[in-house]
Amino acid sequence: MKESERSEKDIKKLEKIIEKFRGYGLDSKYPAILEYALNYLEDAKHYHENEDYFTSFGCANYSYGIIEGIIFREKGIPR
C-alpha cells in the first residue's frame, strides 16, 4: 500500500471511530477528549494534503488509540 493510501485509510478509520464514540454518548462524558481527537483529525488531514503522509499517519493513529481506549474502558473490549 502506498503511503498516501495508508494515510487516507487511517483518516477514514479515525472518522469512523469518532462517530462510534459519539454514538455511545461518550462525547458528552469526555468532551475534551473529543475536541482533542477532532484536532488530531484535522491535523492528519492537513498533513495528508501537504503530502506529509508519515505525520498524517501518526496523528490519525495516536488519536485513534486514545478514542479506542476510552471505548474499551467504558463499553468493554469486543470479543
The answer to whether the pTM exceeds 0.85 is yes
Q: For residue 79, what pLDDT band results from cuts at 50, 70 and 90?
A: low
pLDDT in tens, 11-24: 999 999 999 999 99
Distance separating alpha carbons of residues 14 and 47, to the nearest angstrom: 15
- CATH, domain 3-75, list 1.20.1270.90, 3.10.129.10, 3.90.1420.10, 2.30.40.10: 1.20.1270.90
Domain spans in the chain, listed from the N-terminal domain onward: 3-75
CA 14 to chain centre: 3
